[in-house]
Chains A and B, each alone.
Chain A
Amino acid sequence: MAQHTLSVLVENSPGVLARVASLFSRRGYNIDSLAVGPTESPEISRITIVLNLEGHALDQVSAQLFKLVNVIGIQEMEDKNSHQRELLMVKVNSTADNRPKIEAVVGKYRASIVSQASSSLTIEAIGNSAEIAALLGELSSFGIKELVQSGLIALENGDATLAERTLQETGLASSSTHSQTEDYQN
């Protein structure tokens, strides 16, 4: 089972998340995590999808996604060429006795304690999937009362941007829409 991270630029229009979700559901693609948010352009949103592909080729998933009219660009984000992070908030059982141990774990992962109560601590951590999983592994011995985790987000390293790449690939940057001016009349 192979995990892949796709960054998808979409038009910021109503229903676009439903279209993406419906496509994944209909074609039987498994989503591990999903994060949606605004971008540098108000017309464009960015969806980061972590996929578990079993029996489906990544090319096929991308091609099906790209068929959605509101999808502008897609790029696979790989570990080696991108920065990937998820956010974790976790409430851990805590007593005066085990507190130093928890603090040591928190320090090791550069996480932080954001709230303290009589019998629990709330910890916030930012990291890649492996780091978050490792932190959770260590915290579980104290007893986890509740946790919430964001979907993963990712950004390509270096000067390149997905928006530029997309506009170049589709030719929309230059001669853009000439084919769309006259052909559409019935």
Chain B
Amino acid sequence: MASEITGAQALVNALEDSGVDVMFGIPGGAILPAYDPIFDSKIRHILVRHEQGAGHAATGYAQVTGRVGVCIATSGPGATNLVTPIADAQMDSVPIVAITGQVPSAAIGTDAFQEADIRGITMPVTKHNYLITDPAQIPRAIAEAFYIASSGRPGPVLVDIAKDALQRMTSYNYPKKLNLLGYNPQIEPNSEAIRDAASLIAQSSKPIFYIGGGVIKANAAKDLLVLAELVGAPVVTTLMARGAFPDSHSQHLGMPGMHGTVAAVTGLQKADLLITLGARFDDRVTGKLSTFAPNAKIIHADIDPAEIGKNRYADVPIIGDLGPIIRALIPAVKAEFAKNKADITQWWKQMNSLRQKYPLGYNQPSDGSLSPQYVIERIGEITGPDGIYVAGVGQHQMWASQFVKYEKPRTWLNSGGLGTMGYAVPAAMGAKVGAPDTPVWAIDGDGCFQMTNQELVTCALNDIPIKVAVINNESLGMVRQWQTLFYKERYSNTDLHSKRIPDFAKLAEAMGCVGLRCESKGDVDKIIKEANAINDAPVVVDFSVYRDAMVWPMVAAGTSNDDILIAKEMAPDWDSQEL
């Protein structure tokens, strides 16, 4: 029998044996025993400046690499600071494992110093969680956490470990076999469902692919391309699926939803068949649910059975991993097409007409100031489709989704489900750690940036040279847009004055980054190129932009997708469309 080691050493061994190469965290009292063996471990530990940064960094790392991201914090406030990124990872199905220290087991329940019931707190926002008080349970809990986080529908798993469990001695055995009685995700699809889906596809004269983030999680983008070209139908990619299908592809209509393209939104509305792959009929996509895609039959493929029928009835549900599902659909569709294939030429005529008439676009500001959309578009064009783009939440996020062109999966990161302002800087940090040779641009707002910019210190000290574009409209822009549209231009508490305070370039310099400023259109390309050329330090560019730019098109919250507007009080000219 192997000699005994501390629970803390067992934790670090188990993390190493789970394949962890990097983790983001901050030590504190209850987790301190673990930090001693971390000092000697081959795992790279990146000391962040706020636990929220550790959590989003783990998420960014996981989204770029497809591996499990790891964050670690102490009990009480350390753990509660992880709650936002954990909830964020849960909503966007990102595999992360969060390790937290807990007060000694004898003190649990006594309101001890830095005690918080983090297992109870995170129960509704984790895929699963653990409270470990016995050191012998640590290796199994860690192994299970990695398996649960990464398999099935990915998600966050929290392992809370009492301080005395880290200190006590135990023998170490990394489990070779897990035995989770109640957890056995279905991978292979039911063949009857595949045949039914193929049959519907062959009969449909107005089919459309409704692609969600699941395609990226399943690493199924290449398979999707084959299936989509075989079927020949229009494709829309949701906010979480940008990059799952090339933007340059002629079948791609863009993003659907609240700020989707007219063609993508209308395509879903008018289709007779939605081929839904790894998407979940989120309210931001469906608009008013009762009026969503009223004439469409639904094929709904997802690894999570609870998504089937949650918001919209599925005529053909397919449960399983999207890789095997799409690969099974390809021959099944071919077989159906050999028998019959409905004509979709007329459907394409309609879609092409919408696409030509209502392309994404924006006006240059009338006052001569810098257009935020132009800045974001140029960052994408100059950096190219090999770059990784990470957005915060708000107008800049929508523009980054609309005006950067994505060709590959795992190049677009954002907080889609939870809508976490402050996501961009720490997630970009994690992304850069996961893809050190790829340029990583955080496209952030001045509001978002002020929530988590302290992680630039972490970036500067740890050789993580991310680039940050602060799209500075000196306001909480999306909220301001809603105030413009729905609250009679009463701008209650959305003015941030951030062209005056803080000085973002100076702030960047103070944090060990290069700080740049850009105020005019003529300087945009030069400054982006300058930022791209700097690879030995993080760069922050303060783009001072037009504050009244708005995100269009727009389906107002709670209204029907049929009521999409292409500009203020301006609906598409439906009468001229043959729909």
Contacts and interface: CB of A to CB of B under 8 A. Distances in A.
Q: Do A and B bind each other?
A: yes
Interface of A: 10-11, 14-15, 18-19, 22-23, 26, 57, 59-60, 63-64, 66-73, 170-172, 176-177, 179-181, 183-186
A45 to B, nearest CB: 12
A68 B146 CA distance: 16
Interface string B146-184: 111011000000000000000000000000111111111
Given A171-B184, A172-B181, A179-B187, A184 B124 contact: no
Contact of B309 (A57, A66, A170): A57
A180 B147 contact: yes
Contacts of A177: 177-180
Given A57-B309, A186-B18, A71 B182 contact: yes
19 contacts: A11-B182, A19-B123, A22-B124, A26-B124, A59-B309, A60-B306, A66-B182, A66-B305, A67-B306, A68-B128, A69-B128, A71-B182, A172-B184, A180-B147, A183-B147, A184-B18, A184-B178, A185-B18, A185-B146
Nearest to A67: B306
Contacts of A184: 18, 143-144, 146-147, 150-151, 178
A35 B143 CA distance: 32
B20 interface: yes
A170 B148 CA distance: 16
Contacts of A64: 306
Contacts of B259: none
Given A11-B182, A15-B119, A15-B120, 5 more contacts: A69-B128, A72-B182, A180-B184, A181-B178, A183-B151
Given A22-B123, A186-B18, A68 B182 contact: yes
Interface in B184-203: 184, 187
A180 B127 contact: no
B327 interface: no
Nearest to B21: A186
A170 B120 CA distance: 28
A185 B187 CA distance: 17
Contacts of A63: 305-306, 308
B182 A181 contact: no
B22 to A, nearest CB: 11
A31 B184 CA distance: 27
Contact of B179 (A14, A22, A26, A180): A180
Contacts of B183: 69
Contacts of A172: 181, 184
Contacts of A176: 179
A145 B458 CA distance: 67
B19 A185 contact: yes
A14 B308 CA distance: 30
Contacts of A185: 17-19, 146
B264 interface: no
A186 B67 contact: yes
Majority DSSP secondary structure for residues of B touching A: loop
B182 A180 contact: no
A176 B181 CA distance: 9
Contact of B178 (A60, A72, A180): A180
Nearest to A16: B182
Leading 3 A-B pairs by shortest Cβ distance: A184-B147, A186-B19, A63-B306
Given A186-B20, A186-B67, A69 B123 contact: no
A60 B184 contact: no
Given A64-B306, A67-B306, A186 B184 contact: no
Nearest to A21: B123
Interface in B120-146: 120, 123-124, 127-128, 131, 143-144, 146
Contact of A69 (B19, B148, B305): B148
B147 A60 contact: no
Nearest to B17: A185
Contacts of A71: 182
B116 interface: no
B421 interface: no
Nearest to B313: A57
A15 B127 CA distance: 14
Given A22-B123, A22-B124, A186-B67, A180 B177 contact: yes
Most central of A26, A57, A184 by chain B CB within 10 Å: A184
Contacts of B179: 176-177, 180
Nearest to B66: A186
Contacts of A183: 147, 150-151
Contacts of A15: 119-120, 123, 131
Given A15-B123, A184-B151, A72 B304 contact: no
A170 B176 contact: no
Interface string B304-344: 11101110000000000000000000000000000000000
B31 interface: no
Contacts of B308: 63
B102 to A, nearest CB: 13
A60 B317 CA distance: 13
A7 to B, nearest CB: 14
A9 to B, nearest CB: 8
